[in-house]
Structure 1
Amino acid sequence: MKLKTLIAASTVCLSTFTAGNVAAASRDYISIVGSSTVYPFATVVAERFGRTSEFAVPKIESTGSGGGLKLFCSGVGENTPDITNASRKIKRSEVELCAKNGVKDIVEVKIGYDGIAFANSKQSQQFDLSLKDIFTALAKVVPDANGNLIANPNKTWKDVNAALPATKIEVLGPPPTSGTRDAFVELAMEGGCNQYPELKALKKSDKNKYKAVCHGIREDGAFIEAGENDNLIVQKLDANPKAFGIFGYSFLEQNADKVQGAKIAGVVPTFDAIGDGSYPVSRSLYFYVKKAHADVIPGLQQYVASFTSEDAIGDEGYLTDRGLIPLSARDLKLVRNNAVGLTPNL
Structure 2
Amino acid sequence: MAHFGKLALSVTAAAVLALSAQARDQIKMAGSSTVYPFSSYVAEEFGATTGNKTPVVESLGTGGGFKVFCAGDGLDTTDIANASRPIKKSEFDNCVANGVTDITGVMIGYDGISIAQSKANAAINFKIEHLFLALAEEVPVDGKLVKNPYKTWNQVDASLPNRPIVVYGPPTTSGTRDAFEELVMEVGSKKFDAYGDAKGKYKKIRQDGAYIPAGENDNLIVQKLVQDKNALGIFGYSFLEENPDKVSGANINGIAPTAKTIGDGSYPVSRSLYFYVKNSHRAGVKGLDQFVDLFISDKMIGGNGVLKNIGLIPMQPDLLKKVQDTVKAKTKLTAEMVDKHTVLP
- Alignment counterpart, residue 174 of structure 2, candidates 158, 178, 186: 178
- Alignment counterpart, residue 88 of structure 2, candidates 69, 72, 91: 91
Identity among equivalent positions (%) equals 53
Are residue 60 (structure 1) and residue 57 (structure 2) matched? yes
Distance of 2:149 and 2:57 partners within structure 1:
42
Normalising by structure 1, what TM-score?
A: 0.89
Distance of 2:288 and 2:163 partners within structure 1:
50
Q: Is the Cα contact below 8 Å between 1:35 and 1:65 reproduced in 2?
A: yes
Distance of 1:277 and 1:198 partners within structure 2:
29
Q: Is the Cα contact below 8 Å between 1:169 and 1:243 reproduced in 2?
A: yes
- Tell me the amino acid that sits aligned with residue 161 of structure 2: P
2:213 aligns with 225
Q: Deviations over 1:148-192 (max 9, x none)?
A: 111000010011001112111000001000000000110011111
Mapping of residues 1-346 of structure 1, within 5 Å: 23-24=19-20, 25-145=22-142, 147-199=143-195, 201-203=196-198, 211=201, 214-346=202-334
Q: Is the Cα contact below 8 Å between 1:301 and 1:342 reproduced in 2?
A: no
2:8 aligns with none
SS in 2 for 1:219: coil
2:11 aligns with none
Q: Deviations over 1:168-225 (max 9, x none)?
A: 10000010000000001100111111121343x5258xxxxx64xx210000010001
Q: Deviations over 1:13-56 (max 9, x none)?
A: xxxxxxx9992334210000100100000010011111111321
Note the C-alpha offset of 1:79: 1.2
Distance of 1:22 and 1:331 partners within structure 2:
42
Distance of 2:34 and 2:136 partners within structure 1:
24
Q: Is the Cα contact below 8 Å between 1:301 and 1:340 reproduced in 2?
A: no
1:10 aligns with none
Note the C-alpha offset of 1:62: 0.6
Distance of 2:172 and 2:118 partners within structure 1:
24
Instruction: Count residues in correspondence.
Output: 318
Q: Is the Cα contact below 8 Å between 1:142 and 1:152 reproduced in 2?
A: yes
Rg: which structure is higher?
2
Distance of 2:236 and 2:38 partners within structure 1:
12
Q: Is the Cα contact below 8 Å between 1:22 and 1:295 reproduced in 2?
A: no
Q: Is the Cα contact below 8 Å between 2:103 and 2:279 reproduced in 1?
A: yes
SS in 1 for 2:306: coil
SS in 2 for 1:76: coil
SS in 2 for 1:23: helix
Q: CA RMSD in A?
A: 1.5
Q: Deviations over 1:301-337 (max 9, x none)?
A: 1111100001100000000011100111111001011
Q: Is the Cα contact below 8 Å between 2:24 and 2:284 reproduced in 1?
A: no
Farther off after superposition, 38-47 or 190-199: 190-199
Normalising by structure 2, what TM-score?
A: 0.90
Q: Is the Cα contact below 8 Å between 2:145 and 2:194 reproduced in 1?
A: no
Farther off after superposition, 256-265 or 332-341: 332-341
- Tell me the amino acid that sits aligned with residue 179 of structure 1: G
Farther off after superposition, 89-98 or 52-61: 52-61
Distance of 2:168 and 2:154 partners within structure 1:
19
- Tell me the amino acid that sits aligned with residue 181 of structure 1: R
Distance of 2:331 and 2:187 partners within structure 1:
35
Distance of 2:87 and 2:73 partners within structure 1:
18
SS in 2 for 1:143: strand
Q: Is the Cα contact below 8 Å between 1:304 and 1:340 reproduced in 2?
A: no
Q: Is the Cα contact below 8 Å between 1:39 and 1:60 reproduced in 2?
A: yes
Distance of 2:206 and 2:238 partners within structure 1:
26
SS in 2 for 1:32: strand
Farther off after superposition, 173-182 or 49-58: 49-58
Structure 1 moving runs of 4+ over 6 Å: none
Q: Is the Cα contact below 8 Å between 1:117 and 1:252 reproduced in 2?
A: yes
SS in 2 for 1:280: coil
